[in-house]
Every structure is written in C-alpha cells, then in structure tokens.
Structure 1
Amino acid sequence: MTTRDRVDVVAAHHERVTVRAGDVFLKIDIDQERSNTEVAALNAAPIPTPNILWRAPPVLALAALPGRPLARLGEPSTASQQAWASAGSVVRVLHDAPLPTWSCRDHHDISSELDVTCEWIIANEVLPADLVRRNRRIAEAALRPWAPAFTHGDLQAEHVFVDGDDVTGVIDWSEASAGDAMYDLATMTIGHQDHLEAVVTGYGLDVDREVIRAWWSLRSLRGVRWLVEHGLDPFRSGCEVDVLKAQL
C-alpha cells in the first residue's frame, strides 16, 4: 500500500492533529488565530509552499509536496550536502522578503518564558539542574535585539521537502512572523549540527554561530517541557536531551 492509498496520522496532540489522506493533508486546529497565520504566510511567502485546497474551520486542507523531508530529528540525514545548501538558499530568499504584517514576540518575553521553563524542568526533576542551568547560560546569547526578517518560526528539517538536491517546498507555517533569522537557521540544523556549514554556504551571508548555538539550547529547553507536558519523549536518541548534552 502506498501513501496514495491510505490514511496516516502525521502528528497528534491535544492542540492539533494532522492527517494525510492520499495526496491531501488535513490540519485540524482549534486555534483559528494560528490557522489564520498559516494561511497568511502560505500566501505571502516567496518560496515554494503547499497549495491551499480548501478551508472549513477548524480544518485546513493542503496539497502534498513532492519529494521527502530534508531530515528528521533523531535520525541521520540521507540528503546530500547540496540539498542542505539549497535549503539555506531558499531560507535566504524568505528572510529577504518584505516583513509579514503580524508581529513577533519580543526577546524579553522569550527570556521570561525560558526562565519559567527552566524552573519547571528542575522542579519536576526532568533533567539535572546543572545541565539546565549551563544550557540556560548558553541560550543567553540568543536573547539580544535582532533585525526582524520574514521567518518561518518552526523551520525543522522535517518541514523542508527536497527532491534530489532541490527544495520542492516548505510546510507548517503557523508560527511564521517577523522574527530572528538565526532562529530559523538554528531550528533547521538542530540535531543535524554537522550540516550547518552547508546551510550557511547556501544562505550566502556570514552568520553568528554563537547565536545559532544559543538557539539550539533555547529551543531544546522549551521543547523538553512541551514534549513532557504532551506525553511525548524528549529522551529519544539524537533529540532534545541529547542536543542539550552535546552543547556542553
């Protein structure tokens, strides 16, 4: 049986569910503000994205993209270095685009949320306090003023589709905003740090690797709490906990 002949649950938790039915993705999201953002970003992004087939809240139907994900967190990437460089080039086009009309979160807000997250992880004995605190110090480098860019906001390698060396499109735009360009680059390479230089080559601009490393820590700390609260596992090989350990 091929993906054209079956229904698959792609992602499911108590915030939203994504189902693939043949060549159609059905995204069920009770938060219509988040869904509104996705639709607006899909229409505004100057890079390949899935076609919107229809929308009947709380469901958004999108056409499947050709190709396969650039990588998946916790698994070695089988994509070529040129594919990673192509992804960097596509992200640069996005970051150079006119800013979206909706705003991003201030870095001060992110800092406050991160402190609460770290306290929660330590209080619930999810991770050793020293590991959390040392990564919190690393994360500090990301919490600086930045020049806003049109950012995807959740640019996991799994959300970038490639066919050979070429990018066929980018999915999951519900977190798009005017944000920090380095966050997108960090999100795409988290757990795949060995591909960062290929991404930077394709991106075509010098990047602050210390800030990218800081976002690896920050995103992983936030991810640990979110995964635990949603009954998911941040301890899988190569995933958030392993990223935090590798940072040290």
Structure 2
Amino acid sequence: MSEAAMGEVEVVVAHSQRATLRVGDVFLKVDGDPAHADVEIRAMGMVPVPTPAIRWHEPPVLAIAAVPGTALGVLGEPSPASSAAWAAAGAAVRRLHDAPPPPWPGRGLDDVAAELERECAWLLANEVLPAEVVRRNREIAQAALRPYRPAFIHGDLQITHVFVDGDEVTGIIDWSEAAPGDPMFDLAILTLGHEERLDDLLTGYGPGADRDVIRAWWSLRSLTASRWLVEHGFDPDAPGCEFDVLRSRMREP
C-alpha cells in the first residue's frame, strides 16, 4: 500500500465474530471463520454487478478496495438517495437474481422455521417485546416460509452495503452470506426500516416481486436478528430499527 493510500485506522464494525477496519482506501476484514472470506471471494468473481476489488487475502484477513460513492443510507435514518438511485439498485439486484445460482448450498426452509421458533421463544421468555408484538409478527412471518425457486442472493443486502454515485450503483459489498436463496429476502433486507422506498426499488427490479412475502421477511428478519444484535452490543430498539419495524406491523390490518 502506498503512503498516499495510508491514513488513520477507522473501526467500521467490530464484534466477537469479525471486525472490519478502514485504512485509507482499503478495508481490512478480519474473520475467525475462513469460510466467510472464501465465499465472499468466490461470489464477487461470479456476480454480474459491481463489487470491490480484492487487494490481497491472507487468512484471517481479506483486504478489499473501497468503492466510490456513498451508501444508499443507514438503518434508522431517512435515505438521502434519489428515487432513481433506488430504482438503479433494484435493477442491479434483479441482474444478480437472474444469474445462475452459486454451486454451494443455501439455508433450507426447515432451518429458517426452526430459527424463527427458537428466537421467538427467547423474545417471549426474556420479555424483550410485548407478547402480542412477537406473536403477531410471527404470524406475518409465516408467509415467507413457502416453496420458492432459489436465486443467487447476496444474503445480507443491508442498505449500507449498496453504494451509489448520483443515480448509478457503483458497488455492492460484503458478500460472505451469498448463496442460493429466496430473492424476496434480499429485497426485504434492503428495504428493512425503509419501507417507503419499496416502490422505487421495485420500479427498477421489475416484475415478479411478491410484496406480501417481502413484508413477511421484514417481520421474520427482525424477529430472528434481535437477540444477536442485543448480545453483540447493537440496539434493535433504536429509532427506525428492528423493534420499530416489528411494532409498525401492529398498525396493519
């Protein structure tokens, strides 16, 4: 790395499983599970969308270049991106979903259903949320547990993982969860907490999206992610985050 590329070390994210640091124009991803980096490298070499350049890989560290532009937004705050940028993101996700799925296995419906049951039991036992909020969202979540045709999915398509410059997608990052899976899951994760942007996203994505299943994944994801977030020092009860998503479902018919 040249001196011009060097700079202060910024901790982007850090918890017991992995950490990401930024040094100049390079991100250093440190992960105790080497399979995550292996999947990320393989996936970025296969997908028909812009991804970061890999600088080097020396387990447990993967170094990737920063992508130009800015993220579509962050969870808990309104997205500053234009409707056209969201539509461009939808078109990029559609290209991904239309690509041949990767050869490694994804999660099965039985695994997802078991996780949903386990995490709802934990939420109820620990009184993290009112019981009626958990039960209502669990009912909504059932719509996601249906047969589907597996697609190439990103698997963790958070709003902070899609970068745009103006109305153009410049890069999609963090591919360690890529696998064959439910394409509606990607659309749901990208719009989690930003439900008002779903129409813009689907304008670019095109036909075939199931809004009821996307809504079901909003509930399922928020239910199943909450314990992990709490145990790793994140706050799912921050404004606009997972608990707000779950509570908002109570206002729907």
Sort the TM-score into its range (normalised by shorter chain): over 0.9
Q: Which runs of 4+ in 1 moved over 6 A?
A: none
In 2, Cα distance between equivalents of 1:114 and 1:143: 10
SS across alignment from 1:5:
coil
Equivalences for residues 102-181 of structure 1 within 5 A: 102-181=104-183
Determine the structure 2 residue equivalent to 1:235. 237
The answer to whether residue 202 in structure 2 is matched with residue 200 in structure 1 is yes
Determine the structure 2 residue equivalent to 1:97. 99
Aligned residues between the structures: 246
In 1, Cα distance between equivalents of 2:67 and 2:81: 17
SS across alignment from 1:44:
coil
Over the matched positions of the two proteins, sequence identity in percent amounts to 59
Aligned residues of 1:200 and 1:206 also touching (Cα < 8 A): no
In 1, Cα distance between equivalents of 2:233 and 2:156: 20
Q: Which runs of 5+ in 1 are unaligned?
A: none
How far did 1:4 drift? 6.7
The one-letter code of the counterpart of 2:87 is: A
In 2, Cα distance between equivalents of 1:110 and 1:224: 15
Q: Which runs of 5+ in 2 are unaligned?
A: none
In 2, Cα distance between equivalents of 1:106 and 1:145: 10
In 2, Cα distance between equivalents of 1:125 and 1:35: 36
SS across alignment from 2:56:
strand
How far did 1:49 drift? 0.2
Query: Which among 44, 66, 71 is matched to residue 42 of structure 1?
Result: 44
After superposition, give the CA deviation of every residue in 1:199-221 in whole Å (9 maximum; x if it has no partner).
11100113110000000000111
In 1, Cα distance between equivalents of 2:120 and 2:36: 25
TM-score by length of 1: 0.97
Determine the structure 1 residue equivalent to 2:86. 84
Determine the structure 2 residue equivalent to 1:75. 77
Aligned residues of 1:148 and 1:181 also touching (Cα < 8 A): yes
After superposition, give the CA deviation of every residue in 1:65-124 in whole Å (9 maximum; x if it has no partner).
000000100011000000000000000000011110111111111001110000011111
The one-letter code of the counterpart of 1:105 is: R
SS across alignment from 1:99:
coil
How far did 1:223 drift? 1.6
State which drifts further: 123-132 or 235-244.
123-132
Determine the structure 2 residue equivalent to 1:24. 26
The one-letter code of the counterpart of 2:110 is: H
Query: Which among 215, 218, 224 is matched to residue 217 of structure 2?
Result: 215
After superposition, give the CA deviation of every residue in 1:22-76 in whole Å (9 maximum; x if it has no partner).
1000000001111211111111111100001100000000000000000100011
The one-letter code of the counterpart of 1:138 is: I
Cα RMSD between the aligned structures? 1.1
Aligned residues of 1:54 and 1:62 also touching (Cα < 8 A): yes
How far did 1:5 drift? 3.3
